[in-house]
Amino acid sequence: MTREALLRARPASFGDAFAPAGERFDLAVPDTEQRTIATGWLFLGVAALIGAGLFSILLVLARTPYIAGLVPGVDFFHVALVVHVDLSVLVWFVSMAGMLWTIDTSPRWVGLGWFALAVTAIGTLFLAASPFTGVAVPVMSNYVPVLLNDTFLYGLCVFGIGFLLLTLRSFLAPARMSLRMDGTDALRFGLKAAAVSSAFALMAMAWSIIEVPRELDPRTYYELLFWGPGHVVQFTWTLLMLVAWGWLATLVGAPLPLSPRVVALLYAIGLLPVFFVPPIYLNWTILSVEHHRMMTWLMRFGGGLAILPMALALAVALSRPAPKDAVRRPLRAALITSLMLFTVGGGIGFLIQGSDVRVPAHYHGSIVGVTLALMGLAYALLPRLGFRAPQGRIAAWQPWLYGSGQLLHILGLVWSGGYGVQRKVAGAEQALRTPQEVFGMGVMGLGGAIAIVGGLLFIWVVLAAVRGGRRERSGSAVTAADIPTGPLQRREP
């Protein structure tokens, strides 16, 4: 039997029995060279998490009472923090965007797809290796912290070029959408909206490079350089999370109680704020307080317009009884914990006063909410990329362990922030004076340790699924393991 015949004869995949025909929020993985490129992006993201996990161990130790004294120097903490943040946020998110945008493109410009992946991977390698290539002075700028080190700065530039090429290909080779706007079209619209948001972020980056004077001290220069584009790219990550929510809800048998057109409208609303970016740059110079304030307001008030209705719809969907088989459990756990962490992180944002550790508590919650959604989507797409579907106790418990650890981590930070513990400091610089402050940071350390275990288990589950899928495909015959579990492609791009 040919591969095409097997695909037509395959059993129903996740969500087939639980969403009305034509309203399933699901996407096929093209069985072309794009599938290999998408796999490469996933592997790059996993490699970035491995590196970030190693540096996060050093971070938690440097902040945990009684253990912090064993970790060398504050500069060591800051160097580790820079690399950890850039790998776990910047590289991981761009890699997952690369995987999803590659799936949502036609086979055209495939060479550009490979080139973007290679350039981004080279930039990532330089970023990870930079602390070991000479003196590295940390600059704790928001959104993209920096090391004043030639290897790091070169890697950051190369990585940015890779992101630019990735975004460019998403516009040069888009997958077609139909006018009827079914569930698949809604997801495609969301992914394209995320690509548009990235284009605005890259435009803001170029604008900032031109306008910010290089004569400023490094701390001020990089803070101003990344402030605008850093705010804008948050809309990209949020849109990717909203796409993952809609997709995963169908796959776990709890489809959103919304029509595809309403979901597409929410994605459009989530994109809308980025169109205010050019007027902000035109009317207020980057060096002004007004520009700083307008970009903050844009994210604070524009970000929730689409998130709140989507979160409420997802909460309703998850409250309904749904089948709980071994393959769905990891996806459902990732979806629930993503919603939980993102909601908590957003709520903490309203508690921020000054520059204490409630600030990292806020963005840790939001970032981890996005990360958990993308972890769940990675689990769902592994069999479609030709590997084994993650299942078993470790896969089922990994999102809960990672999510609960991160929840403890941020609650410890919120507790300590209420007592004035400052952000971006470690060891003796934390000046923990009272038992309450020590307790809060101790909870933070415990939660961080649990989250590290959860993150390492994600890597373990992914690698186990990859190894298992390769073993199953070791024979020459086509087997069930070769069959993607997603829907058939309905139309040629």
168-204: pLDDT as tens digits:
999 999 888 877 788 899 999 999 999 999 999 999 9
Task: Give mean pLDDT, residues 322-341.
Answer: 87
pLDDT the model gives residue 225: 94
- Cα angle 490-324-377, degrees, rounded to a multiple of 5: 50
16-30, 317-331, 457-471: segment of lowest average pLDDT: 16-30
What are the tens digits of pLDDT across the range 106-165?
888 999 999 999 999 999 999 999 888 888 889 988 889 999 999 999 999 999 999 999
| pLDDT > 90 in the chain, percent | 43
* pLDDT category of residue 435 using cuts at 50, 70 and 90: low
The answer on pLDDT for 240 being more than 70 is yes
Tokens coding 252: 């776990």
39-43, 205-209, 355-359, 417-421: segment of lowest average pLDDT: 417-421
pLDDT the model gives residue 280: 93
The answer on pLDDT for 232 being more than 60 is yes
pLDDT the model gives residue 166: 96
Arithmetic mean of pLDDT over the chain: 80
The answer on pLDDT for 400 being more than 60 is yes
Q: Which residues pair with 105 in a beta bridge?
A: 174
Task: Give mean pLDDT, residues 404-409.
Answer: 84
What are the tens digits of pLDDT across the range 349-387?
655 555 555 666 666 768 888 999 999 999 999 999 989
* pLDDT category of residue 41 using cuts at 50, 70 and 90: very high
pLDDT the model gives residue 434: 59
What are the tens digits of pLDDT across the range 205-217?
999 999 999 999 9
* pLDDT category of residue 237 using cuts at 50, 70 and 90: very high
102-111, 229-238, 435-444: segment of lowest average pLDDT: 435-444
| pLDDT > 70 in the chain, percent | 76
Task: Give mean pLDDT, residues 433-441.
Answer: 61
Return the CATH number of 180-251+255-321, one of 1.20.120, 2.40.128, 1.10.287, 3.30.110: 1.20.120
* pLDDT category of residue 428 using cuts at 50, 70 and 90: very low
The CA distance from 128 to 109, in Å, is 29
What are the tens digits of pLDDT across the range 55-109?
777 666 655 555 555 444 446 778 888 998 899 889 999 999 999 999 998 888 9
- pTM across the whole model: 0.83
Task: Give mean pLDDT, residues 35-44.
Answer: 94
The answer on pLDDT for 298 being more than 90 is no
Tokens coding 483: 């069959």
The answer on pLDDT for 432 being more than 60 is no
